[in-house]
Chain A
Amino acid sequence: MALGTWKNPYGAEGGGQPSTGDLRMFGGPPASTSSGSGFGGAFSKNFGSSFLDMWKSGAMGGGGSDDDKGGQAFSPGSVGGGSIAPIGDKGKHFLFQYTHPQAQIIQHGPDGPSFGEQLATTAIGAGISALCDIRTKVDIAPLESTEVNDSLAEIAFFVKGLRECA
């Protein structure tokens, strides 16, 4: 079973309509036909749907929507079991911690980031990653200033200092 796929919300060239950012941990039945037999097959086949059913019913803290600012950062349909919660002050920073569906679920407050902001940064595994694909950016110029002091900005200014001292 693939651990997860993330549907590119920006299109192949960074354009197009934003989607729900489909990050799926248990996205449908496995392609392999051999996994559908026996206890192991039945378990792996049913686990994902059972989990999603629980999630959607609210038993696991899910049930929110994109407009539900007090709920999950992503709706259950878009996350499919995992969750992405903002780190930092009120979601102004594009840093998110991915939480495995079997781990603790982090929720944000009612004044959390917008859906589009949440898409800007996600996490790989247990780490924190920033959306730095050049195709998602505009107005690109050598670093002079920033309006957002997040971790990425700290690193960028540190490197700028290194280069200027060299």
Chain B
Amino acid sequence: MSALEKLKKLDPIQFRYKENIDPNQSLRAGFSAQQVQEIIPEAVHEVDGVLMLDLNVLRNYLSLAKEELLSKS
């Protein structure tokens, strides 16, 4: 599966962090790490049970997807 196809499988979400993390309760954009882990496992790290998304890996996927789009056009 290409980078572009993998990215298209991700579901972007809006969310708020729980209040103990973000007292301001700002609306944010992102992904569910659990879903990303199923599609791009190398982009997710588990630190003592908490899933973290590696933005550098995602950026690499974006670059590959852009190249793929350019080659198609």
Residues in A lying within 8 Å of B, measured CB to CB = 5-8, 10, 12, 14, 17-18, 94-95, 114, 116-117, 119-122, 124, 127-148, 150-153, 155-160, 162-163, 166
Contact = CB atoms under 8 A, between A and B. Distances in A.
A7 B16 CA distance: 22
B29 A138 contact: no
Interface string B29-71: 1111110100000001101111111111111001001000000
Contacts of B53: 129-132, 152
B46 to A, nearest CB: 9
A132 B28 contact: no
Contacts of B34: 133-134
Contacts of A140: 13-15, 32
A143 B12 contact: yes
A116 B12 contact: no
16 contacts: A116-B20, A117-B23, A127-B56, A129-B53, A132-B51, A133-B52, A137-B17, A139-B16, A139-B27, A142-B12, A148-B26, A152-B31, A155-B58, A156-B13, A157-B12, A163-B12
Contacts of A152: 28-31, 53, 55
Which range contains the number of B residues in contact with the other chain? Answer: 35 or more
B14 A159 contact: no
B21 interface: yes
Main secondary structure of the interface of B (DSSP, over half): mixed
Contact of B23 (A17, A116, A145): A116
Nearest to A4: B47
A162 B47 contact: no
